[in-house]
Chain A
Amino acid sequence: SQQGEEDPQALSIQEGENATMNCSYKTSINNLQWYRQNSGRGLVHLILIRSNEREKHSGRLRVTLDTSKKSSSLLITASRAADTASYFCATDRGSTLGRLYFGRGTQLTVWP
């Protein structure tokens, strides 16, 4: 069964705007990972945040984690048309590496 739920399911913005996607999950975790998928191709690993971390940055990406609310957010700043993709969060199951639960994903469209 799926653990995570992304919100919104679809997001449409103009280039240069910021995009925020949210992810909620149900059980305790060791870490949460965000991925990007372009047009049904393979997944690109974006960032991993551990349960003892609250915020993490990587280039134009900012991820936050609130374990008390069982939620995470992914912020993409100054978005570009090339950021158009589906974004997924994935949580581990608290005990076993590699066995990830994925959310349904957010389809981001960035218009030039």
Chain B
Amino acid sequence: SAVISQKPSRDICQRGTSLTIQCQVDSQVTMMFWYRQQPGQSLTLIATANQGSEATYESGFVIDKFPISRPNLTFSTLTVSNMSPEDSSIYLCSVVIGGDEQYFGPGTRLTVT
């Protein structure tokens, strides 16, 4: 497995502002992903964070709203831009280790007021 950390663990933000979430992994990983879990819901994939190139977004998610950086094989950031209350969710980064097992970070709980 891998040790995955996220910062911040939680935040309360005003609508219209932006928040950048960091994800750090204790080993180099090729594949890193960002997921969202809205209140009482399951997880939905936002995008694949590609090292050295632009992220690949899933249907319904766009770069202007969720810009992602992946400067190296152990680190990625997700920014939630121009936030509204509908963005209140838990945001989780995830990595694939050892072929196909997938592990998740502890999550960032975001509340937008």
Which residues of A does B touch, CB under 8 Å? 2, 30-31, 33, 35, 40-43, 45, 48, 50, 88, 90, 92, 97-100, 102-105
Would B45 and A42 count as touching, CB distance under 8 A? no
The A/B interface has a contact count, at CB < 8 Å, of: 60
Q: Can you give 13 A-B contacts (C-beta < 8 A)? A: A35-B104, A41-B107, A42-B104, A42-B106, A43-B43, A45-B102, A50-B100, A97-B102, A98-B31, A98-B48, A98-B95, A98-B102, A99-B33
A99, B104: Cα distance in complex, Å: 13
Main secondary structure of the interface of B (DSSP, over half): strand
Min CB gap B47→A, angstroms:
10
B residues within 8 A CB of A33? 101-102
In the complex with contacts A40-B90, A88-B43, A98-B96 CB distance below 8 A: yes
Chain B residues at the A interface, C-beta cutoff of 8 Å: 1, 31-33, 37, 41-45, 48, 58, 90, 92, 94-96, 100-107, 109
Set A2, A41, A97, A103: member contacting B100, Cβ < 8 A: A97
List residues of chain B with CB within 8 A of the CB of A102: 42-44
The reply to whether A98 and B33 form a contact with Cβ atoms under 8 Å apart is yes
